[in-house]
Amino acid sequence: MDQTIALVAEQLEVGKRTVETARVRIGTRMVEREEIVEMPLRRDDVEIERVSINRVVEQTSPPRHEGDVTIVPVYEEVLVVTRQLVLKEELRITRRSSVQTSEPQRFSLRSEEVEISRTPVGKTG
């Protein structure tokens, strides 16, 4: 008489599954703030004075500076018996800068803020 004995074995299955644990809600809202800007304004005034020279010269010379005055020579060729270079005039350019205060200006600046809320989801078996 043969007797059969049942053998029992346990098996383990390892795997992954997706489980929802929480939900996240993301929202944005616009925030507006006011900024006041006060900025000095710069103003340049330029004065040009024409100074007659009418002097014969040998060669041209580049513009030059004397203090805050820029001097730009203006030449003219004159045909006499021989050709001569005549310094006809000089332009004296003076720049004066001044700073003026301006009225404060108001500017509206906008930015977005992010709001995040997390809601847990109940466990399911």
DSSP 68: T
- List 42's β-bridge partners, or say none: 99
Task: Please indicate, yes or no, if residue 23 is contained in any of the structural domains.
Answer: no
> Can you give the residue range of the structural domain that contains 85?
41-120
Tens-binned pLDDT, residue by residue, of the chain (125 aa):
678 777 777 777 888 888 888 888 888 888 888 888 888 888 888 888 999 898 888 899 999 999 989 999 999 887 767 777 888 888 888 888 888 887 888 888 888 888 888 888 875 54
Task: Please indicate, yes or no, if residue 51 is contained in any of the structural domains.
Answer: yes
Task: Please indicate, yes or no, if residue 64 is contained in any of the structural domains.
Answer: yes
CA triplet 95, 99, 102: central angle to 5 degrees? 140
Using an 8 Å Cβ cutoff, are 101 and 37 in contact?
no
Task: Please indicate, yes or no, if residue 6 is contained in any of the structural domains.
Answer: no
Three-state DSSP at 17 gives coil
Overall number of domains in the chain? 1
Between CA 96 and CA 43 the distance in angstroms is 8
Task: Please indicate, yes or no, if residue 46 is contained in any of the structural domains.
Answer: yes
